[in-house]
Chains A and B, each alone.
Chain A
Amino acid sequence: MTAPLLTGTGITKDYGATPALRGVDLSVAEGEIVAVTGPSGCGKSTLLHCLAGILRADHGSVVFRDQNIGMWSEAARSRLRRSEFGVLFQFGQMVPELTAAENVALPLLLAGSGRREAREAALAWLDRFGVADVADQMPGAMSGGQQQRCAVARAMVTRPRVLFADEPTGALDQLNGEQVMQAIVRAVREEGTAVVLVTHEAPVAAYADREIVLRDGAVDPTGLGVGAP
């Protein structure tokens, strides 16, 4: 068995008096796609945020490549997300004032790349996701599916080791959703990127190698996910 790339152990997180996660364990291997499913409010997004270092768990640890990132400062976790992680949300991630190519190039520019180099990489990634023709368009002029493909290109442009996708097709229709998921899976398989995929849609969860089901902030031992009868 491949050694885990990312391991969360005993992750606990409360929002005030409301418990969101209650000792969740989860590990992801290199290149593995893990779906986290469960009903609304069960803690899926919170778990993703804790694993990605967006939120700090109240208890437990998140280990990436033998480093407990839960102990890191916010700045260090930001650098990690910029370089080793990719983050993809349902909506609101494209900067409306930047063109598609500039949006995709942004993480590289933040990492210190030159503008020409970043643009070339961005164009290549847009091409991989079939949206090279909208490279110089603003997000407002693009369809929802095109925007989400650009967002995936932006999340992948730094060639992250782990992609965190929170309901990546939640704002799309079924056809567009399938196309985006196929594009994500093709890209991560080619790059060997691991994926933590939060979804409540069974067809989306079906793209994963493995499914973890959360209920009331804990892993459901029955493992009956969203596709279960």
Chain B
Amino acid sequence: MRAATLIRLSTAGNRTDTLRTVLTAISAALATTAMLAAATVAAIRGGEPVDQPDGSNWLAPGAEHYTSPLLREPGLRLGVIFGLLLLTLPVLALAGQCIRLGAPARDRRLAAIRLAGATPGQAVLIAVAETIAASILGSAAGFGLYLAVRQALHAPGPDGRLRLPTDMFPTPMSLAVAVVAVPVLSGLIGLLLMRGVAVTPLGVVRRQRRHGPRPWPGLAIAVGIVLFNVPVWLSERMVLSSYVFGALMLLGTVLVMIGVVVGTGWISYTAGRLLHRFGRGPVTLLAGRRMMADPWNGSRTLGALLGAAVIGGAAMGYHALFVSQGRAEDQFGVLIGMPADPEHAAFYVNSARLVLVAVGVGVAVSAAGMLVALAESVVARRRTNAALTAAGTPGRALAGTLLWQTLAPLVPALGLAVVSGLVLVRSIYHEVTVGGGTTETCTDPAADLETCARTVVTDPVVTLPVPVPWEQLALLTGGTILAMTVVAGIGMLVLRSSTDLEEIRAA
């Protein structure tokens, strides 16, 4: 098959196919932009301590022209890179979700192409090529967006300082990785989704599982939490490069996110089984069976949301840590008669808040994606729903089924995501300690420090527990469930129109 034929066949389709392509491209553009932003911050040099022959050290130049300490200090820059890379994960999950949109229509098209003589491999290639083509377009758009935003936001202050690193450009290697990574990952996700799918000339057959999903992803969560702790444990025993430190933490976080997202398949199946077994009416029977029939639907539709929730849980853990740190420093300052710098603690607290705002944006993006997925699933079941309605099934029963299907996997999966994110942080920091050091001072405070008789004073120790941020957890979890209930409510409007009996002739 020639490349032109492949492109033509992979881009053919109806409005839903176009919508899927556009949404995949938008997701790819957002992910690429976030990766390019991370690569730009990674290109900044300066602020690192440089050891001198006389034993002293000074900070390397290069970053002092940025107004924000997030860009000036190498340790904080690492956190920014970490946060930006983590933000790409929910967006990539959204891309994976978009790939499923309009699947029934695409399946029919692929079957027709097989009927016309395409091999099974060519049919899979056509399906994956569409995703890759959309991602390449998205990556190119993301690169363009990055350049435009970089240009638009480049505004040095009167003192020549910059709020954003608009004077920096990613290294050629990181630029290439950022632009190529998204299409490659999207292609891999597409291949993964086509695994177990046989495209035959008579239709697309999906392999039926004999058993439901297993709870193995729980192991990934546990390993991820351990991996997140490893660099802290190692740094107490050896010198650890900040990049190795960050990479191990990132890997741990990614493992936890993968565990939560994949584990949602098991949660969905188990929740469906419980609903089916213990539910009393037809609504829970239908919802339970549907959840058992396609348990991975939860992973697909909630993936982006759960990724954001893991980050949210971790950000809340850090927020609680920074607040406790600030309180401990205040108490320590009172004890030694030297008030703590309030801006120091406030800076970290505000940084954690910024991440929470980003999580809120992530939840909103996920809610939009979920609405599309929900509408798509309603349309895909249009014929069955119309027949059920014609046979007298009340609309509220179908609506109730939709609500159960949305919330039954969401609530436990969201709880797992938020708690996993929180545990990542709390496994390391469950209390803060300030003071406890020693200071050499003159026995006579009025004497000359160089010549006086000295004494060693032990500083007081302030140890405070880091509280579990219950209120914030409840706010994030409750707010997300509320947002998803609203999404399900909008989905019900689509359901209502798709079961309109005037539509039955078209069903």
Question: When chains A and B are docked, how far (Å) is the Cα of A155 from the Cα of B387?
Answer: 11
Residue contact B384 to A92, C-beta cutoff 8 Å = yes
Question: When chains A and B are docked, how far (Å) is the Cα of A93 from the Cα of B388?
Answer: 7
Known: A49-B504, A106-B282. A82 touches B392 (CB 8 A): yes
Q: Return the contact of B391 from the options A45, A87, A109, A138 (Cβ within 8 A).
A: A87
Known: A54-B501, A98-B289. A81 touches B394 (CB 8 A): no
Residue contact B292 to A92, C-beta cutoff 8 Å = no
Residue contact B285 to A102, C-beta cutoff 8 Å = yes
Beyond A75-B394, A87-B392, 14 additional pairs, beta carbon < 8 A: A49-B505, A78-B389, A78-B392, A78-B394, A79-B392, A82-B391, A86-B391, A92-B386, A95-B388, A96-B293, A97-B293, A98-B285, A106-B388, A109-B282
Chain A neighbourhood of B392, CB < 8 A: 78-83, 85, 87, 107, 110
Report how many A-B pairs have Cβ atoms within 8 Å.
85
Question: When chains A and B are docked, how far (Å) is the Cα of A109 from the Cα of B286?
Answer: 11
Question: When chains A and B are docked, how far (Å) is the Cα of A85 from the Cα of B505?
Answer: 19
Residue contact B387 to A92, C-beta cutoff 8 Å = yes
Q: Return the contact of B384 from the options A46, A49, A81, A96 (Cβ within 8 A).
A: A96
Residue contact A109 to B285, C-beta cutoff 8 Å = yes
Bitwise interface map of B from 392 to 411 toward A, beta carbon under 8 Å scored 1, else 0: 11100100000000000000
Residue contact B501 to A55, C-beta cutoff 8 Å = yes
Chain A neighbourhood of B388, CB < 8 A: 93, 95, 106
Question: When chains A and B are docked, how far (Å) is the Cα of A127 from the Cα of B234?
Answer: 69
Chain A neighbourhood of B387, CB < 8 A: 87, 89, 92-93
Chain B neighbourhood of A52, CB < 8 A: 390
Residue contact A93 to B286, C-beta cutoff 8 Å = no
Chain A neighbourhood of B114, CB < 8 A: none
User: How many A residues are at the interface, by size bracket?
Assistant: 35 or more
- Of chain A, the residue at the smallest CB distance from B382 is A92
Chain A neighbourhood of B393, CB < 8 A: 78, 82, 106, 110
- Identify which of residues 73-88 in chain B touch chain A, using a CB-to-CB cut-off of 8 Å: none
- Identify which of residues 47-67 in chain A touch chain B, using a CB-to-CB cut-off of 8 Å: 49, 52, 54-55
Closest-CB distance, B372 to chain A (whole angstroms): 21
Chain B neighbourhood of A186, CB < 8 A: none
- Identify which of residues 317-375 in chain B touch chain A, using a CB-to-CB cut-off of 8 Å: none
User: How many B residues are at the interface, by size bracket?
Assistant: 20 to 34
Question: When chains A and B are docked, how far (Å) is the Cα of A83 from the Cα of B391?
Answer: 9
Question: When chains A and B are docked, how far (Å) is the Cα of A89 from the Cα of B391?
Answer: 10
Chain A neighbourhood of B391, CB < 8 A: 81-82, 86-87, 93, 107, 154-155
Among A55, A109, A154, A155, residue most surrounded by chain B Cβ atoms (within 10 Å): A109
- Of chain B, the residue at the smallest CB distance from A15 is B505
Q: Does B207 reach chain A (CB closer than 8 Å)?
A: no
Question: When chains A and B are docked, how far (Å) is the Cα of A74 from the Cα of B390?
Answer: 11
Q: Does A115 reach chain B (CB closer than 8 Å)?
A: yes
Chain B neighbourhood of A97, CB < 8 A: 286, 289-290, 292-294
Q: List 15 A-B contacts (CB under 8 A).
A: A78-B392, A78-B393, A81-B390, A83-B392, A87-B387, A91-B383, A92-B387, A94-B384, A97-B292, A102-B289, A106-B285, A106-B393, A107-B391, A109-B285, A110-B393
- Of chain A, the residue at the smallest CB distance from B289 is A97
Chain B neighbourhood of A75, CB < 8 A: 394
Chain A neighbourhood of B282, CB < 8 A: 106, 109-110
Closest-CB distance, A95 to chain B (whole angstroms): 6
Residue contact B501 to A49, C-beta cutoff 8 Å = yes
Question: When chains A and B are docked, how far (Å) is the Cα of A221 from the Cα of B390?
Answer: 30
Residue contact A110 to B286, C-beta cutoff 8 Å = no
- Of chain A, the residue at the smallest CB distance from B389 is A78
Among A52, A86, A89, A92, residue most surrounded by chain B Cβ atoms (within 10 Å): A92
Chain B neighbourhood of A79, CB < 8 A: 392
